């Protein structure tokens, strides 16, 4: 426990240093035959563009166990960054500094925002 607290103190002491991290990305890759585009503005915002729900679930399957979704928003917020996830051109989730969702907070997901209206709209448009 003392070792864990020591690591946390070290991380917290480096927060001002980490807040200055710039993320530059313009990555296009393929997952299950579908294009995934990740880009950033070079400072605080990272955007992940996914074409469909199948790709979203494929990405989740790949990341499971590697990036804990429950703490993703909180960790991004600590360093002042935001991750926007777009599905079929619509913003469906935001993690990090600019996120503030009531339902995710109740469920224990800090600094996470889900766009439930967009998610329902996409689900209904796919069903018809």
- pLDDT of 14 reads 56
Average pLDDT for residues 67-77, to the nearest whole number? 82
What are the tens digits of pLDDT across the range 83-111? 999 999 999 999 988 888 877 777 777 78
Q: How far is CA 75 from the centre of its chain?
A: 10
Helices and strands (H, E) in the chain, number of each type: 6, 6
Q: Give residue limits of the domains in the chain.
A: 22-127
pTM score, whole prediction: 0.75
- CA-CA-CA-CA torsion for 102, 75, 108, 121, nearest 10 degrees? 50
């Amino acid at each position: 426990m003392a070792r864990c607290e020591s690591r946390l103190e070290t991380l917290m002491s480096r927060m001002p240093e980490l807040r200055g991290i710039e993320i530059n990305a313009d990555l296009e890759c393929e997952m299950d035959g579908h294009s995934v585009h990740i880009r950033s503005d070079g400072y605080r915002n990272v955007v992940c563009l996914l074409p469909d729900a199948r790709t979203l679930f494929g990405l989740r399957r790949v990341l499971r166990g590697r990036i804990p979704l429950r703490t993703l928003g909180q960790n991004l917020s600590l360093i002042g960054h935001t991750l926007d996830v777009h599905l079929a051109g619509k913003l469906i989730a935001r993690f990090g500094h600019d996120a503030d969702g009531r339902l995710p907070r109740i469920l224990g997901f800090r600094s996470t925002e889900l766009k439930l209206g967009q998610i329902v709209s996409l689900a209904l448009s796919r069903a018809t």
